[in-house]
Amino acid sequence: MAKEYSRTQRVADQIQKELAQLIQLEMKDPRLGMVTVSAVEVNRDMSFADIYVSFLGVDDQEKIDQSLKVLSQAAGFLRSQLARAIKLRFTPQLRFFYDNSLRRGAYLSSLIDEAIAKDAQADSDEDPKE
């Protein structure tokens, strides 16, 4: 029977919690802005951690790329701070990726709203006062 909550998932959750605090409190780069750590995936041998982040109020791809570059350049610093906060034999290397699920969700929501509005318009056109 498989474990319900694996060690890699526990480590990923702890890394997510600690990284969110570290980025908020320790990162002083003005190019960064508001960062949300939305997910962390750690591979089985715990050598790499893929960190998925989103940026509050940023829709420009150039700014997103710049913020990801800032985080990637600070990965060594964040990894050393993470090693102090989490007692692991080996702290995984950090790789940052943009999480576009919020943008995609907003886009899908707008498509749904548009379809509902078109249906309502079509219903009102078909049914003049009978």
Query: Mind listing the pLDDT tens digit for each residue in 36-83?
Result: 899 999 998 889 999 999 888 777 888 889 989 999 999 999 999 998
Give the pLDDT mean for 121-125: 78
Tokens 């997103």 sit on residue: 64
User: What is the average per-residue pLDDT within 98-103?
Assistant: 83
71: nearest Cα among 53, 83, 57? 53
Q: Locate the domains of the chain by residue range.
A: 7-99, 100-130
Query: 7-99 has which fold?
Result: GMP Synthetase; Chain A, domain 3 (3.30.300)
Q: Please tell me the distance from the alpha carbon of residue 69 to that of residue 55, in angstroms, as a whole number.
A: 13
pLDDT of the residue at 103:
76
